[in-house]
Amino acid sequence: MNLIYITICLITAFSLCLLRYYASSLQKAADAPVHSNLTLPKFMNFNQLQRAILLFGLTLMSVFAFANAITPDTATEEDPATQHAPIIQAIEVNPFKEQFILSYVEYPGAEPYLKVIQEIYTELGFSVKSIATPALTGISLLSEGKIDGDAYRLGRVVTTFDNVILVTPELVRATLVLLCLPDIQCDRAVLNNSKNTLLTNERALGYLKDVDIRANLLKDEVIKNTVEMLHSGEVKYATFMIDERQIIPKGMQMVKLRNIFLYHVIHKKHAALLPQIEKKMRQKRRKLNTTLLKAKKRP
């Protein structure tokens, strides 16, 4: 439309100049000697002709200017929402790098908790990469900023590491227990007997500092090995963690030692995201309660 308008304006201006030149010629003819070939018609008056030409040109330009004002320029018009959507999206759901690297400890029955954490970051718009690590390795990588978060950690252990933020509410409500092979002594006295060997890890020992443990300690930070080593007969006793479902490994005896809580943790560089994470954690935790309750009632 702009190009058409400019063209019309140029044509109108050119026509106006041409008509004015013709009018001037007619005026000269009126003043010329009788033998001149140019004659001014009797019905024409120079001043009236000049005003008519000027009015004609201004009228054309006004008409097309008005048309240009009321007609949208569809070739260049953009939807403001579409134009700004990518910027808004980047601010709302991607406050840090696109990929979220999440460490976790492989533990029997921990799948529902890991799934909750993965869902939270997926809903926030991130591509979640989960990596299984030994217990101490994951939290160390997080403290160093090499990963973005860890799925579940003992609250008391987390406080001993720098650069780590604990997310509330707690993700796992658990019990630290002593597992024993069947048909042998299984009580707290096992921990005080120097003739016994106890399979454990630094996380569990952190909750048993007030217990006089005289048994020989065999430490293994790969938690998933615990039940396998008991079943194979390599050890007779081990510390273990069970959640609200109270699911005990098949064929084992159990003695409760401590009630404990595990929390999701993130690196402090993501502190700005904490309110959103905690809001989703509260929502997910309520749904998780229902899931765990159903599993506990299952025969």
pLDDT of residue 210: 92
Q: What is the pLDDT at residue 14? A: 61
Residue 44, pLDDT > 80, answer no
> By the 8 A CB rule, do 264 and 167 touch?
yes
Q: pLDDT band at 47, cuts 50/70/90?
A: low
List residues bridging with 149 in a β-sheet.
Answer: 102, 266
If pLDDT is split at 50, 70 and 90, which confidence band does 63 have?
low
Cα separation of 11 and 56, whole Å?
A: 12
* More confident: 76 or 14: 14
- What are the sequence ranges of the domains in the chain? 2-70, 95-173+262-297, 175-260
The answer, yes or no, to whether residue 297 has pLDDT greater than 60, is no
Quick one: tokens of 218? 């065999």
- Per-residue pLDDT band for 134 (boundaries 50, 70, 90) equals confident
C-alpha angle 106-131-290 in degrees, rounded to nearest 5: 55
> From CA 84, how far away is CA 102, in angstroms rounded?
31
Q: What is the pLDDT of residue 80?
A: 31
Predicted structure pTM score: 0.61
The separation between the first and the last C-alpha atoms of the chain, rounded to the nearest angstrom, is 77
- The CATH code that applies to domain 175-260 is 3.40.190.10
Q: How far apart, in Å, are the Cα atoms of 185 and each of 21, 196, 232, 252, 280?
A: 123, 11, 18, 12, 44
- Asked whether this chain's domains 95-173+262-297 and 175-260 adopt the same fold, the reply is yes
Across 198-210, average pLDDT: 91
Beta-sheet pairing, 237-242 with 164-180: antiparallel
Fold of the CATH domain 95-173+262-297: D-Maltodextrin-Binding Protein; domain 2 (3.40.190)
What is the structure's pLDDT at 263? 96
